[in-house]
Amino acid sequence: MYIQRRFPFKSVLIWTKRELIFFVIFSSLITTLYEVLNIKWLQVPLAPVALVGTAVAFMVGFQNNAAYDRIWEARKIWGGIVNTSRSLIITVKDSFYMHRSEASKDERETLRVITNRHVAWLTALRYAMRAKKPWETTYEMKKFQYSTPEFETSLEEEMEPYLSAEEFAYVMSKDNKPNAIISLQSKHLRELTDQKKLWDFSLLNLQQMLQELTALQGKAERIKNFPYPKQYGSIGYHFVHIFMWLLPMAIIPTFALTGVEIAKTNPFIGEYFVWLNIPFTVIVIWVFNTMLRIGLAGENPFEGSPNDVPISNISRGITRDILQIIEEDPENIPEPFENMNNIQM
């Protein structure tokens, strides 16, 4: 979970409460059939089940590593967006003559337009990353309230204040809106150079930054538009459930035999020892299932769940930074997003 403070064990139990209750009922049912109704054939050898468990552990471990790699790559991409965005606006600002007293009002307004256009790009990109894909499943924590800004306000409402009416209409007519905004930014910088307001060398430097932003956008889109291969995710899911169904039938006979041995010295404990398999079985199944869920929840780092890379907070942080760089009126600088229950989005 991308949560600001340490994620407590209690929260993990709440997150998996529904499955945990099912595991207790399932283990108790199998034990009742075996011990109370005397259905002794309801058992399998422990060794094959242990081999299955070993294979499942490797599969789930592989899946979790792959999911973590996707999350970490996504976080590095947005870290690159943070650095390049700041550098872009600082470079644009210093390419004019803002430090001189005779700096024209037109230059300041031009800087403001470029900065606002970049804020629009950040907004369009985060909305594109939150767009729902058929393979995405949001693993919500029902007991924990959290807010995903992109699901509460529209892209048009968020982006329109940062673009002119003409540019807004142009961007909204395109499928890839972030790419359209980068195109407008490049065109504007070229025009400023033609007007001798920017040096040619400055244009080359700024174009390199736009190329870097375009590359970072493409990397983010690659993660968003290419799902984690389902042959790995599906196999891991089915393997865990096969192991889950077999495990009680392998552990119960083992506890029953142990109870027979204990009954020789302590008849009371030995008679009921078989029922102790329930907590042990539940713990093993719960661990495997929770590891599976962690992997599944991390496959899509932009889908809008508490497990995601917090692109909303990152984007808003960049917005505040670059608007402060150009000394925008504090009243026009948006406040940070509110993080409900310390969950960053």
Quote the pLDDT of residue 345: 63
Give the rounded percent of residues in the chain with a pLDDT score beyond 90: 22
Quote the pLDDT of residue 342: 62
Long-range contacts of 49-57 (CB under 8 A, 24+ apart): 49/243, 49/246, 49/247, 49/249, 49/250, 50/250, 52/239, 52/242, 52/243, 52/246, 53/243, 53/247, 53/284, 53/288, 55/239, 56/236, 56/239, 56/240, 56/242, 56/243, 56/288, 57/288
Q: Calculate the alpha carbon distances from 33 to 22, 29, 164, 252, 256 in Å.
A: 16, 6, 72, 11, 13
Which pLDDT band holds residue 273 (cuts at 50, 70, 90)? confident
Phi, psi of 3 (to 5 degrees): -120, 145
Element (H, E) at 128: helix 105-130
- Listed in sequence order, the residues at least 6 apart from 107 whose beta carbon sits closer than 8 Å to its beta carbon are 96, 97, 98, 197
The identity of residue 135, as a single letter, is W
pLDDT digits (tens, 9 = 90+) for 142-162: 445 667 777 888 889 888 999
Domains of the chain: which residue ranges?
9-342
**pTM of this structure:** 0.81
Section 320-341 average pLDDT:
82
Spatial CA neighbour of 289 closest among 52, 9, 19: 19
Res. 344: pLDDT tops 70:
no
Choose between 59 and 76: higher pLDDT: 76
Which pLDDT band holds residue 131 (cuts at 50, 70, 90)? confident
pLDDT digits (tens, 9 = 90+) for 196-244: 877 778 888 889 999 999 999 999 999 888 887 777 767 878 888 888 8
- Listed in sequence order, the residues at least 6 apart from 169 whose beta carbon sits closer than 8 Å to its beta carbon are none
Quote the pLDDT of residue 141: 46
Quote the pLDDT of residue 4: 42
pLDDT digits (tens, 9 = 90+) for 287-325: 888 888 887 777 788 887 777 788 888 988 998 999 898
What's the half-sphere exposure (Cβ side, CA atoms, 13 Å) at 8?
6
Res. 184: pLDDT tops 90:
yes
Spatial CA neighbour of 314 closest among 130, 135, 79: 79
Res. 21: pLDDT tops 80:
yes
Which pLDDT band holds residue 341 (cuts at 50, 70, 90)? low
Phi, psi of 310 (to 5 degrees): -75, 70
Section 88-110 average pLDDT:
73
Rounded to whole angstroms, the Cα distance separating 262 from 272 reads 10
CB 14 within 8 A of CB 141: yes
Quote the pLDDT of residue 269: 82
Which pLDDT band holds residue 70 (cuts at 50, 70, 90)? confident
Rounded to whole angstroms, the Cα distance separating 62 from 241 reads 17
Section 43-63 average pLDDT:
86
Q: Is 21 helix (H, G, I), strand (E, B) or coil?
A: helix
Quote the pLDDT of residue 119: 93
Q: Give the chain's mean pLDDT.
A: 83
Quote the pLDDT of residue 132: 84
- The owner of tokens 């398999």 is 277
Section 119-132 average pLDDT:
90
How far from chain centre, in Å, is Cα 198? Answer: 40
Element (H, E) at 319: helix 311-325
CB atoms within 10 A of CB 264: 8
Give the rounded percent of residues in the chain with a pLDDT score beyond 70: 89
Spatial CA neighbour of 184 closest among 125, 283, 258, 117: 117
- SS3 percent helix, strand, coil of the chain, rounded to 5, is 75, 0, 25
- The owner of tokens 């942080």 is 317
pLDDT digits (tens, 9 = 90+) for 237-272: 888 888 888 888 888 888 888 888 888 888 888 788
Quote the pLDDT of residue 219: 93
